[in-house]
A = this chain, B = another copy of it.
Amino acid sequence: MSTDWLIVPVAYLGVVAGAVSGVMEARRKKMDVVGACVIGLITALGGGTVRDVLLGRMPVFWVLEPSYAWWAFLVALVTFYSTGLLVLTSRSILVPDALGLGVFSIVGASYGIQMQDSLLIAALMGVITGVFGGILRDVLCAQIPVVFARSTQLYATCSFVGAWVYLILLRWNVMASVATLIGIFVVVVMRLMAVRLNWRLPDPED
């Protein structure tokens, strides 16, 4: 049983969330529409791009499947010019962003495990796919990635944990479609709870 009927639309939702978050940050940095579109595209597509390059899956996914780039581009354009009308806050993209994080993480981990039979490498591919778009966004905005800050609620951690759950279920011979759905579910629920309950990582200085 393929889970593509579920995964593909949610992946597009993740691309939308990435493009919107990129444009929001670009506006905060006083960029013009070109800057905003570039940051939007990179935030939306950057994680999967880095994963594809590391694994040698080239040309990268959005060159093979241009509709991802079209979506990100049009969403970035519309978001940039509608900021007066539409008040966008990080709160308003929380749910699409969490869903995108879930799908990107599990898809990334599945590509990783196809290439190399190491759970750590596959989990890292999941995390890279899930969070590197946002890291590249922050690097291009000349700021320390938000995802690394102590004040940030669990984000990469959700991706990492969900990827391990998915990979261990696969190793236990659970059906791939079931493992995929559970993995995504773990990431999304953990992320939403982390925001709601303000979960952070333990710090040795505390």
Contact = CB atoms under 8 A, between A and B. Distances in A.
A32 B121 contact: no
Copies, count: 3
Interface residues of A, number: 61
B139 A140 contact: yes
Interface string A101-131: 0000000000010011010110010000000
B148 A39 contact: yes
Given A55-B58, A139-B139, A204-B81, A34 B120 contact: no
Interface string A49-83: 10001111011101110100110010000001101
B58 A56 contact: yes
A66 B120 contact: yes
A35 B143 CA distance: 14
Interface of A: 26, 29-36, 38-39, 41, 49, 53-56, 58-60, 62-64, 66, 69-70, 73, 80-81, 83-84, 112, 115-116, 118, 120-121, 124, 135, 139-145, 147-150, 152, 155-157, 160, 200-205
